[in-house]
Amino acid sequence: MSVLIYAENTGGKFKKSVFEAVSYARAIADQNNTSLTAVSIGNVDATELALLSKYGVNKVLNVSGDKLKEFVNQAYASVIAEAAKKEGSAVVVLSNTFSGRGLAPRIGIKLEAGVADGAVALPEQTGGSFKVKKTAFSGKAFATVELTSAIKVIALVPNSYKVVETGGTAQVEDFRVETKASDFKAMIKEIVRSTDKVSLPDAEIVVSGGRGLKGPENWGMIEELAELLGAATACSKPVSDAGWRPHSEHVGQTGIAVSPNLYIAVGISGAIQHLAGVSSSKVIVVINKDPEAPFFKVADYGIVGDAFEVLPKLITAVKEYKASA
Ligand SMILES: Cc1cc2nc3c(=O)[nH]c(=O)nc-3n(C[C@H](O)[C@H](O)[C@H](O)COP(=O)(O)OP(=O)(O)OC[C@H]3O[C@@H](n4cnc5c(N)ncnc54)[C@H](O)[C@@H]3O)c2cc1C
């Protein structure tokens, strides 16, 4: 048995979530005294591939070529499944990102494997079975699923496992797979990035605003605080519905699910549909003028106060801290 990690790249670079998934896969490999192979698809250069060995990858299968340069769900799933067969992998790990969520079930079918997406902790292993803790009901609850199949596919939620540097070197092998025409029936033709700022699903800090901010003209405070903290900006659903902010910023049950280290909610009541998308944040700070706002029940830190007074003071304090650091 070996463990396989799919090292997803964005524009030829690996994000932190990949190193988290590699560290997670390394821990599973260690529990089973086996090796860890990474498969990378889509023209990633040697320097970037070498980074994978820092986190315990023993071997990298590098798939390049024009056909697979951009993400194609079905074709990437075929390549990863073939890599797993070549390596005799009993566990395949991916990041629970937009592409990881699409790939996991497809790989599961190709390998006749049990699939746990939304994983947030290392599996508990007994005999040949894995019990995996995962998010359920759009992040409102956790479930434990038991995988009893010979091969297991696990997609790890970003920010739910630490990055562990182990050092080491990995040999890089070119890996070629004959893809079929049927793998290319649905293709992405164009990707239009909504902003150059920090990407919301990957952000480690998120500053989010709700209807309590009264109107789009007041978002300068949210953006300034976000910029100072290197954070992404987000909002509640009514805010994007009203056109105050783009829909790409809407978090919650019907929007994006985030799991940053720090989520700062300003003027957001904390309705269950909003919490569904943010409750796996590590630390939640709530700023709301109503002490009875439901968000305070799940907050690690709360400030009862008017956002128009609290935010300028917070911005000044962060500036002073940064100037003195
Ligand atoms: C099927 C369904 C799906 C939904 N999906 C989502 C979703 O994905 N995401 C989502 O966000 N919502 C979703 N909603 C809507 C959700 O139920 C709430 O209506 C919404 O989250 C409320 O947004 P809000 O907190 O910004 O506004 P409000 O509920 O109006 O709350 C505003 C808050 O700001 C506070 N406030 C006011 N003035 C100030 C001030 N000056 N300073 C500080 N605080 C102030 C108030 O005390 C209040 O708590 C969904 C609803 C349904 C029915």
DSSP 192-209: --S-SS--GGG-SEEEEE
Least confident of 23-27, 67-71, 187-191, 299-303: 187-191
Predicted TM-score (pTM) of this structure: 0.81
pLDDT score of 194: 67
Average pLDDT of span 7-15:
93
Is the pLDDT confidence value at 168 over 80? Answer: yes
Distance 256 CA to ligand 1 centre (A): 15
pLDDT score of 198: 79
Q: Which helix (H) or strand (E) holds 103?
A: helix 98-111
Query: How far apart (Å, rounded) are the C-alpha atoms in residues 281 and 277?
Result: 9
pLDDT score of 9: 95
Residues 211 and 236 sit within 8 Å (Cβ to Cβ): yes
Task: Indicate the DSSP class of residue 150.
Answer: S
Please, which residues bridge with residue 303 across strands?
Answer: 287
pLDDT score of 265: 98
Q: String of b and e for 236-264 (b: at least 16 CB within 10 Å)?
A: bbebbeeebbeeebbbbbebbbbbbebbb
**What letter represents residue 319's amino acid?**
K
Of 85, 103, 74, 90, nearest to 7 (Cα)? 103
Is 211 labelled as part of a ligand binding site? yes
Is the pLDDT confidence value at 196 over 70? Answer: no
Which has more pLDDT, 197 or 319? 319
Is the pLDDT confidence value at 173 over 70? Answer: yes
Residues 35 and 57 sit within 8 Å (Cβ to Cβ): no
For the chain, percent of residues with pLDDT exceeding 90 = 85
Place of tokens 């937009």: 98
Tokens of 204: 């480690």
Place of tokens 């970003």: 158
Query: How far apart (Å, rounded) are the C-alpha atoms in residues 109 and 77?
Result: 10
Distance 212 CA to ligand 1 centre (A): 8
pLDDT score of 119: 96
Q: Which of 140, 214, 236, 284 to mutate to test the pocket of ligand 1 (most atoms within 8 A of CB)?
A: 236
Ligand 1 atom showing the smallest separation from residue 235 Cα: 11
pLDDT one-digit tens code per residue, 20-34: 999 999 999 999 999
For the chain, percent of residues with pLDDT exceeding 70 = 99
* pLDDT level of residue 5 (50, 70, 90 thresholds): very high
Query: How far apart (Å, rounded) are the C-alpha atoms in residues 20 and 202?
Result: 12
Query: Does 307 sit in the ligand 1 pocket, CB within 6 Å?
Result: yes
Query: How far apart (Å, rounded) are the C-alpha atoms in residues 82 and 175?
Result: 10
Mean pLDDT of the chain: 94
Residues 247 and 235 sit within 8 Å (Cβ to Cβ): no
Least confident of 123-127, 142-146, 190-194, 298-302: 190-194
Q: What is the dihedral of CA 53, 58, 64, 67, to 10 degrees?
A: -110
Is the pLDDT confidence value at 12 over 80? Answer: yes
Place of tokens 């003027």: 267
Average pLDDT of span 227-252:
96
Place of tokens 């997609």: 155
pLDDT score of 266: 98
Q: Which of 217, 240, 256, 273 to mutate to test the pocket of ligand 1 (most atoms within 8 A of CB)?
A: 273
Query: How far apart (Å, rounded) are the C-alpha atoms in residues 235 and 146?
Result: 35
Is the pLDDT confidence value at 89 over 90? Answer: yes
Is the pLDDT confidence value at 195 over 70? Answer: no
Q: What is the dihedral of CA 51, 54, 55, 58, to 10 degrees?
A: 90
pLDDT score of 197: 73
Domains and CATH numbers, the chain: 2-184 (3.40.50.620), 205-324 (3.40.50.1220)
